Amino acid sequence: MSKLSDAIRRVQRIDAAPMGFGAARATAKATMLVGVITPATGVKGAWDKGADLVIVDARTDTLSAADVKKAAEGNSQAPLGAWQSDPSRELAAELQKAGLDFLVLSADATPAETLLVEDLGFVLALPEEPEELFLRALEGLNLDGLLLNRVPSPLTVAGQLELNKISMLGRRPLVCEVPVSASKSDLECLRVAGCAMVLVPSADAVAAVKETVMSLPPPRRPRREERPVVSLPRQQAPVESDDDDDDDD
């Protein structure tokens, strides 16, 4: 399991409220991860600003094992990702050994064999308008999340339904790029749609968005469906026959 997958599980877990008199109030915890997409030169600044994870933008370049080792310095426990345009299986394995936790991939450029690299997480960058069959076909892939690089703000009901559809059919946590001006309501709507991680445009935006995330109300527990109560018809007592009386006569 990748560090990213483990971090997503932690933020999506709904803790039970303490019970009983005098029970200690649970400490507020973040319910979404806040990360940054940045060139390799900006990784250290993103860690210093408190990013939960960093994605090295290498779409126009090739990331080396030395770059990954340098990027992971000082924060080896946090998820470190990279966005490569067409990483080969050999390169992905080399980067994983150097300390890379996950790769961001595009479906039309990444060799399928890259997904076979063990101990490496994968986030798929979705097309702008993913079709239903495309989303359903993701079930068989080893993915930790689905990246949406365009999220309307503020969300309309139609936009919310579209996000719900992607989350429901894709069956993976959503990763959404958001502006620094994303409001509390925007983030709460994204969380309801299944977004577990937001990506901000720069390291300077991390603190403000993390503060907004911490101000979100606790997520609601899903309602338990009431089980239908099956009522069996009462067995009627047999009707006594008058034949016995006739025989006695």
Query: What is the pTM assigned to this prediction?
Result: 0.79
Q: Does residue 159 sit in helix, strand or coil?
A: helix
- 31 C-beta neighbours (distance < 10 Å), count: 20
Alpha-carbon distance of 18 to 23, in angstroms, equals: 6
With H, G, I as helix, E, B as strand and everything else as coil, classify residue 47. Answer: helix
Tell me: the pLDDT tens digits for 73-100?
877 788 999 998 888 999 999 999 999 9
Please tell me the number of Cα atoms within 13 Å of 136 on its side-chain side: 3
Helix (H, G, I), strand (E, B) or coil at 177: strand
Domains of the chain, CATH where assigned: 29-220 (3.20.20.70)
Q: Which of 180, 156, 219 is nearest to 49 (CA)?
A: 180
Spans of the chain, pLDDT less than 50 = 23-24, 225-231
Cα 167 to Cα 216: distance, rounded to the nearest angstrom? 20
